[in-house]
Amino acid sequence: MENSTIITKLNEVLSPVAAKIGNQRHLKAISSGMMFGLPFIVIGSFFLIFANPPINIDRYNPETANFFMKFMAGWKDFAVANYDLITAPYNLTMGIIGLISVFGIAFSLSSEYKINPSMNGMVASVIFLMVCTPVSEGSINLNYLGTNGLFVAIIIGLLVVEVNRFFEVKNIKLKLPDTVPPMVATFINTLVPLLTNIILFYGINLIFLVTTKKIFPETVMQVLTPATNIAGSLGGFLLIVTLGNILWLFGINGSSIIFPIVFTLGMAQTGLNAEQMANGETMTHLMNLQMFRISVLGGAGGTLGLVILMMRSKVSEYRTIGKLSLIPGICSINEPVIFGLPIVFNPILAIPFLITPIVSLLLTYFAQSIGLIGVGLIVDPSFTPFFAQAYLSSMDWRNVVFCLVLILVSAVIYYPFFKVMENNKTKLVDEDL
């Protein structure tokens, strides 16, 4: 009864806000547009997992290894030798998710306006490529076609449509004879808006390049990167992780922005712990790589508990996305949930998305400090199942159990907010019927 009351109160507070934001056409376009990339994200995630088998080859001894460890070592050798071939599907799915999203956003917004979605999507894609793929000495830089270019994709996807709509609303068109076929007339009247968009956005990009020596996406990423001098403390680390998760809520890959700070810090601290252990000393560096892994346990926002709730949801759409997201989530890849549910621009799920990693990190820090779990002393492989990472980081099975507890904590935190969203979805379906 008390649980039902909490959910009802949350529903009364959050649902009107969510409805208002959800019906805003630009935010709807962003959410719907990013759904275009969901199949690519899911498939790309599997190839990334396959390219990073869960084994620390530095600790592998072929003379004492069993059949399973020899198999894992062989898989690791194969993956290292063929990494570029294995990750090609990832690079051409997740690696161009910015390009896919800019088309989807422009397509969705122009559909709202009922103005030639396909053409607007193509124009936005072309402009995005012009801005995000600088050519130098015959080589094309692809760094900003993926998640690093998502924020720019949102800007271009929305504004290109608005520019084209301006020409449509103001009826700025060439007067052509009635004898001209409609397809030819459409082609001709697309030229001026297209040229305007190129001059506007490519011009802005050139201004940034001349004044800052950086292209527009690079400047945006530089502005978003947090300072490194606060990362060493628990409070600073929590602040950086939270800032990264706030960026995720706006469709920006916050993890990629904070990664250089927290990962470098974590590796250094982990190395110091390894030295202390080798010298027979007590390991004292708690802000190690294990803390970074916990901050993305199940992906940004600690969403593995949410995925479990989705898999048991009474809404078939949520169940489907939950099942698709489980295996990537186990390997801390949760773009299917962030963009597919979505969590992006979702005021209801934004709250647990920010709270869950904070709670998990505080519990982990405390558990390490009192010896409840092993302190991280090994640089474990990325994109491996969380239970493998938990063990490899400290060679302590208690850490695996602890991560399972954190997933349950995540589910508890997400539960009331997810139920609000689920109830709203059920009401909408009932009304449609």
Question: Which value, to the nearest 10 degrees, does the dihedral of the CA atoms of residues 342, 330, 354, 316 take?
Answer: 30
Which one has a higher pLDDT value, 82 or 379?
82
Rounded CA gap, 220 and 253, in Å? 12
Model pLDDT for residues 258-297, shown as the tens digit of each residue: 765 777 677 667 777 776 775 668 888 888 888 888 988 9
Mean pLDDT along residues 5-29: 68
Name every residue whose Cβ is closer than 8 Å to that of residue 234 and which is 6 or more positions away in sequence.
286, 287, 361, 362, 365
Tokens 């519990």 identify what position?
A: 363
- What pairs with residue 140 in β-bridges? 135
CB 284 within 8 A of CB 324: no
Residue 93 to residue 208: CA distance in whole angstroms: 28
DSSP string, 78-117: HHHHTHHHHHHHHHTTGGGHHHHHHHHHHHHHHHHHTS-H
The predicted model scores a pTM of 0.63
User: What is the band of 406 on the pLDDT scale with cuts at 50, 70, 90?
Assistant: very high
Domain spans in the chain, listed from the N-terminal domain onward: 29-51+93-224, 233-432
Q: Mind listing the pLDDT tens digit for each residue in 62-90?
A: 888 888 888 988 988 898 899 889 888 87
Highest mean pLDDT among 34-48, 248-262, 388-402: 388-402
Handedness of CA 281, 287, 291, 292 (dihedral sign): negative
